[in-house]
């Protein structure tokens, strides 16, 4: 890390599968989380914690809102307990939603409503459309090898779309499930390693109808203010400073791939040397392009619940 990069950034991570066991204790014990849960309950008209506790599924409406609340509560924790005043924010994939609330582009109440309604949009859309499409993630596959694998898919007549560029050798590809085994075989052949398969899929130009549905039913009903901090868009690393830019970023997330190395590059150019990853994170704060560029502080529910000495920095 260059000595002159002394700036700090908050990163709200993409959503990993979560259950009540992962965040329930934090939501019930932490005073900031309890306050935000109460606000979410008021806007939604139901008990978020009760729904999270009793509903199965990794990406339900309730787990998504709980993830949002957890990220925002952890950002508050980092401000108060670690004395962090971020100069810029980023939020890859799902992280765009807590980012919108944290930067003031949306009120917390509207961010909760948006998160719940977008979750319903996805559920309704994929109940009838693209039911055979999944998004598969894999590592140890640099772009030259990725190109070989994708060329073989094309030669076989398979449709695919690269949904996420996470690191130089970690990607996510959307494709029809009947071609998943062919993709996995190709990944193994070039020395790569498959990780997991997501349902529903995400970030593909094939989902333009989903984008229109989300705009008409959710985004068009919201007023986006200019963010109080510059935001780095996860699709291309552009710096966003307007409410309309935040809305566009959220809308384009349905149809454009995520390019995390571009975000990292922009954060570096803005002078960021330390990133605080505010939320349950198993990916973005841990990949080499992040850890090689910044000092990374993981701000997780476990971190926030650990007894700590005043002035100590959590890891």
Backbone angles phi, psi at 115, to 5 degrees: -60, -45
Token pair of 245 as six digits: 């830019």
Does residue 23 contact residue 280 with C-beta atoms inside 8 Å? yes
Does residue 141 contact residue 171 with C-beta atoms inside 8 Å? yes
Q: Cα separations (Å) of 289 from 28, 168, 275?
A: 34, 8, 12
What is the full per-residue pLDDT of the chain (315 aa) written as tens digits?
555 889 999 999 999 888 898 899 999 999 999 999 999 999 999 999 999 999 988 889 999 999 999 999 999 999 999 999 999 999 999 999 999 999 999 999 999 999 999 999 999 999 999 999 999 999 999 999 999 999 999 998 999 999 999 999 999 999 999 999 999 999 999 999 999 999 999 999 999 999 999 999 999 999 999 999 999 999 999 999 999 999 999 999 999 999 999 999 999 999 999 999 999 999 999 999 999 999 999 999 999 998 765 545 444
* CA–CA gap between residue 279 and residue 299 (Å, rounded): 6
Is the peptide bond preceding residue 127 cis, with omega within 30 degrees of 0? no
pLDDT of residue 306: 84
Q: State the CB neighbour count (10 A cutoff) for residue 63.
A: 24
> At which residue do the structure tokens 């333009």 appear?
208
pLDDT of residue 31: 94
Angle CA(209)–CA(214)–CA(218) in degrees, nearest 5?
A: 160
Q: Which of 147, 254, 246, 128 is nearest to 201 (CA)?
A: 254
* CA–CA gap between residue 214 and residue 121 (Å, rounded): 6
Token pair of 62 as six digits: 């309730």
Does residue 134 contact residue 197 with C-beta atoms inside 8 Å? yes
C-alpha 77: how far from its chain's center? 19
Q: Which of 59, 31, 58, 34 is nearest to 47 (CA)?
A: 34
pTM summary value: 0.94
pLDDT of residue 19: 85
pLDDT of residue 314: 45
Long-range CB pairs of 142-146 (<8 Å, 24+ gap) are: 142/168, 142/169, 143/168, 145/190, 145/191, 145/192, 146/171
For 193-231, the pLDDT digits (tens) are: 999 999 999 999 999 999 999 999 999 999 999 999 999
> At which residue do the structure tokens 């939320």 appear?
279
For 148-202, the pLDDT digits (tens) are: 999 999 998 999 999 999 999 999 999 999 999 999 999 999 999 999 999 999 9
pLDDT of residue 253: 97
* CA–CA gap between residue 136 and residue 107 (Å, rounded): 34
């Amino acid at each position: 890390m260059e000595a002159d990069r002394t700036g700090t950034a908050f990163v709200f991570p993409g959503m990993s599968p979560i259950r009540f066991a992962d965040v329930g204790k934090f939501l019930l014990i932490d005073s900031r989380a309890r306050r935000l849960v109460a606000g979410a309950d008021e806007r939604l008209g139901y008990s978020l914690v009760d729904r999270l506790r009793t509903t199965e599924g990794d990406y339900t409406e309730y787990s998504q809102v709980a993830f949002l609340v957890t990220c925002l509560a952890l950002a508050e924790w980092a401000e108060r307990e670690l004395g962090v005043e971020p100069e810029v924010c980023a939020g890859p994939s799902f992280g765009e939603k807590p980012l919108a609330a944290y930067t003031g582009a949306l009120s917390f109440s509207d961010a909760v409503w948006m998160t719940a309604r977008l979750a319903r949009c996805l559920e309704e859309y994929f109940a009838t459309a693209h039911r055979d499409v999944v998004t598969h993630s894999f590592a140890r596959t640099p772009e030259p090898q990725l190109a070989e694998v994708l060329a073989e898919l094309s030669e076989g007549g398979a449709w695919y779309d690269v949904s996420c560029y996470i690191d130089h050798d970690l990607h996510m590809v959307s494709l029809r499930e009947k071609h998943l085994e062919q993709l996995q075989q190709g990944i193994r052949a070039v020395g790569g390693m498959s990780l997991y398969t997501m349902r529903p899929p995400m970030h593909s130009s094939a989902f333009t109808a989903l984008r229109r549905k989300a705009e008409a039913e959710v985004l068009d009903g919201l007023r986006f203010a200019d963010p109080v901090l510059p935001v780095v868009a996860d699709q291309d690393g552009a710096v966003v400073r307007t409410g309309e830019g935040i809305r566009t970023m959220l809308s384009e997330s349905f149809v454009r791939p995520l390019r995390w190395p571009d975000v990292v590059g922009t954060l570096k150019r803005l002078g960021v040397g330390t990133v605080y990853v505010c939320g349950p994170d198993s990916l973005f704060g841990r990949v080499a392009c992040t850890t090689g560029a910044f000092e990374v502080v993981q701000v997780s529910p476990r971190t926030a619940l650990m007894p700590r000495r005043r002035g100590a920095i959590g890891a």
